[in-house]
């Protein structure tokens, strides 16, 4: 590994369906489940070669996607029975569109099932704006983008007696995607208020594990403030998607004359171009630019070269 950092490999429902193959009908989210489970097995097979801990995580699962969640948990239970540990490290339930009491009750039901396997549950209360992976919250009322301390503590109060393995994605103005400065007002200092409120109730300093959704485009100061208030995970899907595309874009611009046909380039009309259009070549360029973006995230999160310290 280039940076000696633990990493999270995260799969969404749409990502699982893509991994399975877009030609497969996703009736009952069977393709999403199969793709997600296949990805988890792939990661478990190759991860030891990289020499760093790898967390396998499933992302936003709305209420309508619960059959996908159930399918992954069934795979966890089967793997746990055979190996003494679950297939996935953690899962996320995003029931933020539901009433708070229903959101929390469903999370409690699933955490009870996950607890014997020590699977981490990430949940969301308060809505992340914008659009991501087929979920569009771009028209949501602005007050919904800010979670109250009471809401966050109600999650802790319900889940903590079940298992310590859970985190809360509390909204503080978060929006999926990247927008012009001034269009989105992040208030990560609110997370400090959530911790203080929960500390007053529990007598524990910083009892909450918090998650930063919609981290793409955030400033270093916003990230530092969020981490200081107990954020343990930040999502930067939009930024990593752009970084991946940027590698391909830059490669095409640099090698355009070699990518117009199978034969013929600036070096001669009979010269072959296979070494330029081979997908392994340009996909690696995309990976390299995404690695650079992830390295920046490690530094901004204050966890650069964790395993070297």
What are the residue numbers of the active site? Answer: 59
- Residue 289 contacts residue 228 (beta carbons within 8 Å): no
As a whole number of angstroms, the distance between CA 294 and CA 300 comes to 10
- Give the H or E element holding residue 224: helix 220-228
- For the beta sheet containing 120-125, the strands, ordered from the edge strand earlier in sequence to the opposite edge, are 7-11, 54-58, 90-93, 120-125, 166-170, 210-212, 231-234
Residue 236: which residues within 8 A CB-CB, separation 6 or more? 215, 216, 293, 297
As a whole number of angstroms, the distance between CA 259 and CA 255 comes to 7
For the chain, report the end-to-end CA distance as a whole number of angstroms. Answer: 15
Largest CA distance in the chain: 76
As a whole number of angstroms, the distance between CA 267 and CA 47 comes to 41
């Amino acid at each position: 590994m280039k940076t000696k950092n633990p990493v999270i490999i995260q799969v969404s429902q749409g990502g699982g369906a893509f991994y399975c193959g877009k030609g497969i009908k996703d009736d009952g989210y069977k393709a999403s489940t199969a793709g997600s489970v296949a990805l988890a097995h792939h990661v478990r097979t190759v991860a030891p070669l990289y020499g760093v801990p790898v967390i396998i995580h499933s992302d936003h699962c709305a209420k309508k996607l619960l059959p996908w969640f159930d399918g992954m948990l069934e795979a966890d239970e089967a793997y746990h029975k055979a190996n003494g540990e679950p297939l996935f490290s953690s899962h996320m339930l995003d029931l933020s569109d539901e009433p708070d009491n229903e959101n929390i009750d469903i999370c409690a039901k699933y955490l009870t099932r996950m607890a014997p396997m020590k699977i981490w549950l990430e949940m969301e209360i308060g809505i992340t704006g914008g659009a991501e992976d087929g979920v569009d919250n771009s028209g949501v009322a602005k007050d919904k983008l800010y979670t109250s301390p009471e809401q966050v503590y109600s999650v802790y109060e319900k889940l903590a007696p079940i298992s310590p393995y859970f985190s809360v994605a509390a909204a503080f103005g978060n929006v999926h995607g990247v927008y012009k400065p001034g269009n989105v007002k992040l208030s990560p200092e609110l997370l400090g208020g959530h911790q203080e409120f929960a500390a007053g109730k529990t007598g524990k300093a910083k009892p909450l594990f918090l998650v930063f959704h919609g981290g793409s485009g955030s400033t270093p100061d916003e990230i530092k403030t969020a981490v200081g208030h107990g954020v343990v995970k930040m999502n930067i899907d939009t930024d990593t998607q752009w970084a991946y595309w940027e590698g391909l874009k830059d490669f095409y611009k640099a090698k355009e004359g070699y990518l117009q046909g199978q034969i013929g380039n600036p070096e001669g009309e009979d010269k072959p171009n296979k070494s330029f259009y081979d997908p392994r070549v340009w996909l690696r360029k995309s990976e390299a630019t995404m690695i650079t973006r992830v390295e920046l995230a490690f530094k901004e999160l204050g966890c650069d070269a964790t395993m070297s310290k």
